[in-house]
Amino acid sequence: MSLPTPKVLAFDIFGTVVDWHGSIAREVDAMELGVPGGQFALAWRMGYKPAMQRVMSGELGWTLIDDLHRMILDQILGQFGISHLDEAQKRHLNKVWHRLDAWPDSVQGITRLKSRHVVCSLSNGNIGLLANMAKRAGIPWDCILSAEVFRAYKPDPATYLGVAKTFDVAPEEVMLVAAHHDDLAGARAYGLQTAYIERPMEFGASQPKDVSPRAENTMHCTSIVSLAEKMGC
Amino acid sequence: MSLPTPKVLAFDIFGTVVDWHGSIAREVDAMELGVPGGQFALAWRMGYKPAMQRVMSGELGWTLIDDLHRMILDQILGQFGISHLDEAQKRHLNKVWHRLDAWPDSVQGITRLKSRHVVCSLSNGNIGLLANMAKRAGIPWDCILSAEVFRAYKPDPATYLGVAKTFDVAPEEVMLVAAHHDDLAGARAYGLQTAYIERPMEFGASQPKDVSPRAENTMHCTSIVSLAEKMGC
C-alpha cells in the first residue's frame, strides 16, 4: 500500500528545529556564572522529562513548559552553587528557551516545505514560547500547535491525533518531523508518517549522538533542507 | 496616565480581517443554488451567535465553529428549499469559511504591524479554519490564537486575558483590533487597549454599517493599513 503525500508536516522543535544546547551554552557562558554553559544546558534539559512526568502522573496539575523550566532552573542554580541572580535575572534566563537559535538549515527547509504543505510545530513547549522563538528566528509556521493546545504532552495520542483533527485530515496525511526516535515511534503508533532528521550535535560537540537510520521511519534525512529536496519542494 | 505601546496586536477575524459576506456571496452565487448569495451569507452568519449561545449556556458541549457552521448550514439549506446537495458538497460548502478573502488592506497592514509588534488572531473560529484561511490569503500571523485554545468564546474574559497570559504581558500591553464595538467593549472591560477598524461593507453594499467613532476606543482607523501608519509601522 503506498502512502499518501502528507498534507501537514508537524515539526518537533527542541533539538529538531532549534539548537537548544548550543544556544543555552552560549548565553550561559556570556553570563560568566562560573559554570561551563554546555554543562548547564545539559543539566537543565535533563530535568525536563522527569518534570513532565510529574504532570502526566497527576502529581502536578497542567503546567506550561515555561513553568517547568523555571522549577528545574531553581534546582540547578542550587546544584551549581549560583546564588547571586535576582528574580528579574532568573526570569530573563528562564526565557532563554524563547531565544533558541534555529539550526542553519531549518528556516530555508521549512520555507520550501511550506510551498506545498501545511507546516506547523508540534512541541511540548507552550504557545508563547514557540511564537516568540519563531518570530525571533524567522520560522514561517502556518500554525503553532503545542501540548498547550491539546492539554497533553507528547507522546500522548491526543497530540499526534490532534494535528490530524485540527486540519481535518487522516492520520497518515500528517508527517511528524523529529530528531528523536521515541517521538517518531509515538506518532507512528497512531498512524502518522515519520521523518527522522539527523542532529548529531544536539547534545554538543563533546557528546555526538547516534543518528543511524531506522527502517520504521518513512524518511531519513540529514537536514530539513534535505527533507524539502526529497519532498520535491 | 499614558498607555504603553502595545506589544501584542490581537485581531478579530470575521469582518475585521476577512470579508465573509462578499466571499460567501460570490461562492454561493457561482454554485447557482437559486438563492442570492448575499442573502445566503447573511442567513448563515445570523445563525452564529445563537449557536454559540447554546454552547455558552451549556446546552451544547464545547463545539468547534466548523461544526456550528455545519449545523446552521443544514438549517438554512432547509429554509431556502435546497435539497439536492450531497454530503461531499455540503462539507465543501461548509469550508467556505476557510476560504474567505482578506479585505484589500489586511495583508499589507498586518505585515507592516508585524515588524514592530506580535500579530495574532483572536477569533471564535477554530484553529484549522484560521490556519487554512491565513495560508490561502497570505496573512503572516506570528501566532494563531482562537477560542479553541482557551476553550471559551469571546466575550469570555478567558479569551482576552488569555492573549496577555500567552505572551506573559500585562493586559494593557495587548490591543484588540476589531470592526465590532461589542468585541472591543469586552476587551476593554478586562484592561486591553482597543482599535476599531471601519468595515462599512461588512454586511454587503446594500446594508452599509454605521462605523462612527466611539470615544471609548484607544484608536479609530479606516483600515488596517491606517492602523499601521498610526502605529508608525
- For the stretch A8-31, pLDDT in tens is 999 999 999 999 999 999 999 999
**Average pLDDT for runs of 10 along chain B of length 233:** 90 98 98 95 95 90 94 96 96 98 98 98 97 98 97 95 98 98 98 98 95 97 98 95
Residue in B with minimal Cα distance to A167: B128
- The predicted pLDDT at position B56 comes to 87
Grid cell at residue B141: 500571523
pLDDT tens digits, one per residue of A20-78: 999 999 999 999 999 999 999 999 999 999 998 999 899 999 999 999 999 999 999 99
Q: Which residues 54-73 of B have a C-beta within 8 angstroms of A?
A: 66
Amino acid at A173: E
Q: Which residues 118-147 of A have a C-beta within 8 angstroms of B?
A: 118, 120, 126-128, 130-132, 134-135, 140, 142-145
Mutate to test the interface with B, among A143, A148, A159 (most CBs of B within 10 A): A143
Residue A131 and residue B168: Cβ atoms within 8 Å? no
Task: Share the mean pLDDT of chain A.
Answer: 96
Task: Calculate how close chain A gets to B168, using CA atoms only, in Å.
Answer: 8
Query: In the block, which residue shows the cell 554546555?
Result: A38
- What is the per-residue DSSP string for A89-109? HHHHHHGGGGSPPBPTTHHHH
Task: Determine whether B206 is exposed, middle or buried from the number of CB atoms within 10 Å of its CB (0-12, 13-18, 19+).
Answer: exposed
What does the alpha-carbon distance between residue B96 and residue B93 come to, in Å, rounded to a whole number?
A: 5
Is the pLDDT at A1 greater than 60? The verdict is no
Mean pLDDT confidence for A178-197: 98
Residue A34 backbone zone (phi > 0: left; psi -120 to 50: alpha; other: beta): left
Residue B166 and residue A131: Cβ atoms within 8 Å? yes
- The predicted pLDDT at position B1 comes to 57
pLDDT bin (cut points 50, 70, 90) of residue A217 is very high
Residue B142 and residue A134: Cβ atoms within 8 Å? yes
What does the alpha-carbon distance between residue A175 and residue A183 come to, in Å, rounded to a whole number?
A: 12
Residue A18 backbone zone (phi > 0: left; psi -120 to 50: alpha; other: beta): beta
pLDDT tens digits, one per residue of A129-168: 999 999 999 999 999 999 999 999 999 999 999 999 999 9
pLDDT tens digits, one per residue of A100-130: 999 999 999 999 999 999 999 999 999 999 9
- pTM here is 0.96
Q: For domain B20-98, which architecture applies? A: Orthogonal Bundle (1.10)
Residue A167 and residue B128: Cβ atoms within 8 Å? yes
Task: Calculate how close chain B gets to A170, using CA atoms only, in Å.
Answer: 14
Residue ranges covered by each domain of chain B: 8-19+100-230, 20-98
Residue A131 and residue B148: Cβ atoms within 8 Å? no
Q: For domain A8-19+101-230, which architecture applies? A: 3-Layer(aba) Sandwich (3.40)
Residue A144 and residue B148: Cβ atoms within 8 Å? no
Grid cell at residue A198: 539527523
Among residues A124, A204, A117, which one has the least CA distance to residue A156? A124
The HSE-up count of residue A167 (CA atoms within 13 Å, CB side) is 28
Residue A127 and residue B145: Cβ atoms within 8 Å? yes
What does the alpha-carbon distance between residue B71 and residue B88 come to, in Å, rounded to a whole number?
A: 15
Dihedral (CA of B109, B115, B117, B121) sign: positive
Task: Tell the CATH topology of B8-19+100-230.
Answer: Rossmann fold (3.40.50)
Tell whether B166 lies on the interface with A, counting CB pairs under 8 A: yes
A143-146 β-sheet, strand order:
A143-146, A118-123, A8-11, A174-178, A193-197, A219-221
- The predicted pLDDT at position B15 comes to 98
Cross-chain CB nearest to A143 (options B131, B167, B168): B131
Residue A66 and residue B134: Cβ atoms within 8 Å? no
Task: Calculate how close chain A gets to B209, using CA atoms only, in Å.
Answer: 32
